[in-house]
Amino acid sequence: MKIKDLLQKETLIFSFEIFPPMRDGDITELFTTIKELVKVDPNFISVTYGAGGSTQDMTFEIASRIKNHVETEVLTHLTCVQATEKEILEILDHLERENIRNILALRGDPPKGEHTFTKIDGGFGYANELVEFIRAHGDFSIGVAGYPEGHVEAPDIDTDIQNLKKKVDAGADFIITQLFFNNDDFYRFRDKAVSKGITVPIIPGIFPIFNFKQIAKIASLCGAAIPKSLFDQLSAVSDRSDEVARRGIDHAIRQSEDLLGNDIPGLHFYSMNKSNHVTHIIRQLNIDRKVHYESEKRITGGTV
Binding residues for ligand FAD (CB under 6 A) = 48-51, 77, 79, 104, 106-109, 126-128, 145, 151, 153-154, 160, 163, 166-167, 176, 178, 205
- The smaller minimum CB distance to ligand FAD, of residues 64 and 79, is found at 79
- The smaller minimum CB distance to ligand FAD, of residues 77 and 101, is found at 77
Q: How far is the CB of 111 from ligand FAD (least distance, A)?
A: 11
Q: Give the distance, in angstroms, between the CA of residue 270 and the centroid of all CA atoms in the same chain.
A: 7
Q: How far is the CB of 167 from ligand FAD (least distance, A)?
A: 6
Strands 13-18 and 73-79: unpaired
On whether the CB atoms of residues 218 and 24 are closer than 8 A, the answer is no
d(CA 148, CA 189): 5
- The smaller minimum CB distance to ligand FAD, of residues 16 and 49, is found at 49
Helix axis angle for 56-69 and 85-97, nearest 10°, is: 20
Q: How far is the CB of 270 from ligand FAD (least distance, A)?
A: 8
d(CA 174, CA 143): 5
Contacts of 9 (CB under 8 A, 6+ apart): none
Answer yes or no: 129 catalytic. no
- The smaller minimum CB distance to ligand FAD, of residues 126 and 187, is found at 126
**b/e code 49-58 from CB counts within 10 Å (16+ = b):** bbbeebbbeb
- The smaller minimum CB distance to ligand FAD, of residues 166 and 280, is found at 166
d(CA 128, CA 56): 21
Task: Report the number of secondary-structure helices (H) and strands (E) in the chain.
Answer: 11, 8
Q: How far is CA 107 from CA 124, 186, 273, in A?
A: 8, 22, 23
As a whole number of Å, the CA-based R_g of the chain is: 18
- The smaller minimum CB distance to ligand FAD, of residues 39 and 117, is found at 117
**Could you say which of 10, 17, 73, 149 is catalytic?**
17
Strands 73-79 and 141-146: unpaired
What positions carry a catalytic annotation?
17
